[in-house]
Amino acid sequence: MSMTDPIADFLTRIRNGQASGKTEIAAPSSRIKLALAKVLKDEGYIEDFAVDGDSKKPTVKVRLKYYQGRPVIERIERVSRPGLRVYKAKDELPKILGGMGVAIISTSQGVMTDRDASRKGIGGEVLAFIW
């Protein structure tokens, strides 16, 4: 069975893992998922991630983060999807909860947060909102 939106699947695995109180989730690895995991780690939403490359199909393992027994990620939403891509210019980048949340943007210079993209003066595809 083919997957039409692997990014949404990755974000859903994180959401479901935290809802069930798991400490770690695993998903099929890809460059975009590793870039998303790096942004999540840099912003403090996950503990760490690693690629398990022992098999022919590598997986990315993400250690989820909790604070006082509650998940650090309150909400995680997929914005751009295969049926409706969402692109924003550098001066139209969304601010999530007045800067308290993060929008993850895929740009020509890689995957980064909305703050990094506006600092560099570039726009791109809005992948997800996290707060």
pLDDT at 99: 80
Rounded CA separation 45/125 (Å)? 21
Give residue 2's pLDDT band: very low, low, confident or very high (50, 70, 90).
low
Spell out the residues 6+ positions from residue 125 whose beta carbon is closer than 8 angstroms to its own: 80, 85, 86, 87, 105, 106, 107
Specify the pTM.
Answer: 0.92
Could you tell me if 106 and 125 are in contact, meaning their C-beta atoms sit under 8 angstroms apart?
Answer: yes
Asked whether residue 53 carries a pLDDT value surpassing 90, the answer given is: no
pLDDT at 1: 47
Please give the mean pLDDT across all residues of the chain: 94
- Please state the φ and ψ torsions of residue 8, each to the nearest 5 degrees: -60, -40
Characterize the bridge pairing of strands 124-130 and 66-67.
Answer: unpaired
Could you tell me if 129 and 77 are in contact, meaning their C-beta atoms sit under 8 angstroms apart?
Answer: yes
Asked whether residue 26 carries a pLDDT value surpassing 50, the answer given is: yes
Asked whether residue 95 carries a pLDDT value surpassing 50, the answer given is: yes
pLDDT at 130: 96
115 vs 55 pLDDT, higher one: 115
Give residue 80's pLDDT band: very low, low, confident or very high (50, 70, 90).
very high
